[in-house]
Amino acid sequence: MTRILLIEDEEDLADLLGQLLEIQGYQVEVAYEGRAGLAKIRSQDFDLVITDLTMPIVSGWEVLEELRDSPEHSAIPVIVTSAGEARDKAKPYGHPFVAKPFGLNQMLAAIDKLIGPPSP
């Protein structure tokens, strides 16, 4: 089964998106802040990470840097989310960017383009 880690500090959004992705056939783990997300990445295998860039304590930027600097995790595909003004700052990282607010179809299109449909 395709496993996604969703790192999002807006708990209502994280819970709703997680449920919607599970309905689509993905297995979803949620972390409500970057430090918890990094701990999950270190202890579990994921096919995709979706992270908000602007979170307190450990930001999505720090998550991206740690993934990039980790030989063990640098190949994990990542989708970044944030308000639209972060798009230009995110470009050098080369990850797909989905601007908030987004619809489920936008997120599904980004996921499908990056890793394809869920595997059984």
Structure tokens at 111: 């996921």
- The DSSP output letter for 28 is E
Q: Cα 17 from chain centroid?
A: 11
Residue-wise pLDDT tens digits, 93-110: 678 889 899 999 999 999
pLDDT of residue 120: 75
Q: What is the pTM of this model?
A: 0.94
Domain 3-115, classified CATH 3.90.1150.10, yes or no: no
State how far the Cα of 43 lies from the Cα of 106, in Å rounded to an integer. 29
Question: pLDDT tens-digit profile of 13-51?
Answer: 999 999 999 999 999 999 999 999 999 999 999 999 999
* Contact assessment for residue 26 and residue 3, using Cβ atoms and an 8 Å cutoff: yes
Whether the predicted pLDDT of 70 surpasses 90? yes
CA distance 14 to 36: 14
